[in-house]
Amino acid sequence: MSKLSPLDAEIRDLFRFAAQRSMLPRFRALTDSEIEMKAEDDPVTVVDREIESFLTDALTKLAPGVAVVGEEAVHADKSVLGHLSDQSWIIDPLDGTANFTEGKEPFGIIIALADGGKAVAGWLYDPIADRLCHAKAGEGAFINGEKIKARTTGETPPVAAISRMFLTEDQCTEFDAKIAPHYTLTDIPRCAAEQYPRLALGQNDVSTFERTLAWDHAAGALWLNEAGGKVARPDGSDYRVDEHEMPGLLGASSPAIWEAFAQRMRA
């Protein structure tokens, strides 16, 4: 029988409340006035701001003295990033905002708890499926309280979900020559809260991430590693949440698939 720890149950309840109050009622119902552009192809909505404000208040009450680093707070004040080297909650209030604004799935909410620059717990929530992926360092990975182990697609060649969105022209050329011929390529979901589960649940085998912002990757990287997959920098070093400006992260459904892909990248 599945069972959530008190903290996991508390986070799940916060996710559910936020989704039911702010997110789901506005899905496919946003007005133009509720969407702004922070940069090209980087929208923010009233939903992002409402949920981040709610979760910031709730997590501060849950753990007074622990800093909160939210995506939108960082957009407003870059100095907030300094808390990532301390004990901190990390929030992505609406992961997959571009999908959400277009009335498409997937999208989700992500929270991580970090200490000393490393994630020690993480939660990824899919509000449509009511799916909670959660992990604590050294304790394994879970979905809705059930322990899981990462599995590959079993396909040959392996399935690679790769985005060219943030690659330079030279990087795209190199990818086409060195990587693409050896994998079955598939689209990315543009949502880390969905991409990491796909790497553990037999849907994708490997994925690369050029931007490695903590609110996108802290929880998912921990969860996939705890599931027995592998997430690391291309050189094999661990992902740290306070190295937010360092590009490049590689996730795979197994260490062997990770290593094979990394070798091709280094060749």
* Contact status, residue 132 vs residue 123, Cβ threshold 8 Å: yes
- Token pair listed for 196: 């990491």
Strands 108-115 and 118-126: antiparallel
Phi, psi of 199 (to 5 degrees): -75, -15
Binding residues for Mg(2+): 71, 92, 94-95, 216
- Peptide bond between residue 106 and the one before it cis (omega within 30 degrees of 0): yes
Indicate the SS3 state at residue 212: coil
Residue 91 Ramachandran class (φ > 0 left, ψ -120 to 50 alpha, else beta): beta
DSSP structure class, residue 144: T
Indicate the SS3 state at residue 9: helix
Binding residues: 71, 92, 94-95, 216
Indicate the SS3 state at residue 186: strand
DSSP structure class, residue 158: P
Radius of gyration of the chain (CA): 18
- Token pair listed for 218: 């802290």
- CA-to-CA distance for 114 and 100, rounded, in angstroms? 27
DSSP 223-254: HHHHHT-EEE-TTSPPP-TT-TT---EEEESS
